[in-house]
Amino acid sequence: MADIIDGKAFAASLRASIAAEVAALSFQPGLAVVLVGDDPASKVYVANKARQTVEVGMRSFEHRLPAETTQATLLALVQSLNADAAVHGILVQLPLPRHLDADAIIAAISPAKDVDGLTVTNAGLLANGLPGLVPCTPLGCILLLHDRLGGMTGLNAVVIGRSNLVGKPIAQLLLQQNCTVTIAHSKTRDLPTLCRGADILIAAVGRPEMIKGDWIKPGATVIDVGINRVPAAAPGKTKLVGDVAFAEAAGVAGIITPVPGGVGPMTIACLLRNTLTAAKRIESRATLV
């Protein structure tokens, strides 16, 4: 049976170390979260982010805008947050309502405050191995891997999924760790065989339990990023499952993350870590001027 990573406990210890660092600062980092519309899942995420931001000693600025907010209004808000010295991190909760151009809104965020790591500038810095702000979920995956494996030099890593938010940045981070990285996607041929060669297998697909136990190399480390809501056994109830068929996979893998309780809790903890990183960089630049 695989060793099951407790992402909740790891995220809690990460938040505790962030809180200790914040307490020692001479200023208070601030995170602004912008929510447009009333998507119920987004409301829950934003409330959790705000609560955890305050718990680590940072200031939380919540901006809730109506669903009919115009592009110009949202852009003006982002620009005012870029200019606000109390705000070190800006997160625009996605998805945005369909009439808004999310790419243009993200492009308007100052790269120094882009704590989601989604601007082209931060993606470029990551691709070049330069210090920037790394997307939160990929950062969470690497921290978990680092904790369990230490060095990853020479390991074969297969990342299933090539989104800008998850798959591509995870692949870049694994490359920085000297892994030999393969990125798979919906057009990849013979995915099971490819997966069987992976010492590290990352699933970031969004298809419930697609990766079966016999796709996994015995002893491999499996990180399941997928979050899929499916019908539960009880009528009318639902449950969360990952992209990996957990029960089968846990019998073959050496180390595995569960869903829920694996990668998921790391995302907000890494958002707070990015906010701390951004705040320290911004404030140290300010004292140099």
| Catalytically active residues, by annotation | 49, 93, 116
> What does each C-alpha distance from 22 to 27, 79, 139 come to in angstroms?
8, 26, 20
By CB under 6 A, tell whether 171 contacts ligand NDP: no
186 is in an annotated binding site: no
The answer to whether residues 28 and 61 touch, using CB atoms and an 8 Å cutoff, is no
Q: 246-275 mask for ligand NDP (x: CB under 6 A)? A: -----------------xx--x--------
Contact segment (CB under 6 A) with ligand NDP among 38-46, 86-94, 204-212, 276-284 equals 204-212
By CB under 6 A, tell whether 205 contacts ligand NDP: yes
Strand order through the sheet with 255-256: 3-4, 255-256, 221-224, 200-203, 156-160, 180-184
Distance CA 151, CA 51 (A): 34
From the CA atom positions of the chain, what is the Rg in Å?
19
129 is in an annotated binding site: no
User: Which H or E run includes 3?
Assistant: strand 3-4
- Which of 158, 159, 195, 204 is the binder for ligand NDP (CB under 6 A)? 204
Of residues 144 and 263, the one with the C-beta less far from ligand NDP: 263
- Which of 115, 222, 225, 270 is the binder for ligand NDP (CB under 6 A)? 225
By CB under 6 A, tell whether 148 contacts ligand NDP: no
- Under DSSP, the state recorded for 259 is S
**Where does this chain bind ligand NDP (CB under 6 A)?**
137, 160-163, 165-167, 184-188, 191, 204-207, 225-228, 263-264, 267
